[in-house]
Amino acid sequence: MARKKGKGNQKEEISTEDLRKPWIQKKNGRIVITILSIAMMIFVAANIIIESGDWGRGILYGFLFGGSIWLVFGGMNWFHSLFRPKEKQETGNEEQETGSE
């Protein structure tokens, strides 16, 4: 069998700017994280309540594990913000008076 040379064999150039763009919108990401954290809370709490019958411990650990998802999300956002350049915002009022009279 002979191989055909076509577009499938050529590698496409991918710029680093394309790699830095988010692949999901922030609003959709927060919705997904909220759903996952609530599901994790319910799963952990239900398992502890079923096994030990202790409602207090089940709810406590449910909130801890559900909150840990948000802790990781916030920590990763903070970590990535260290390496992303700050976006400059134009205020439009470059000549502001201080009122020194």
Cα(26)–Cα(30) distance, rounded to whole angstroms? 6
Q: Give mean pLDDT, residues 1-30.
A: 71
Condensed to tens digits (0 to 9), the pLDDT of residues 52-81 reads: 999 999 999 999 999 999 999 999 989 988
Cα(79)–Cα(38) distance, rounded to whole angstroms? 24
Q: What global pTM score does this model have?
A: 0.62
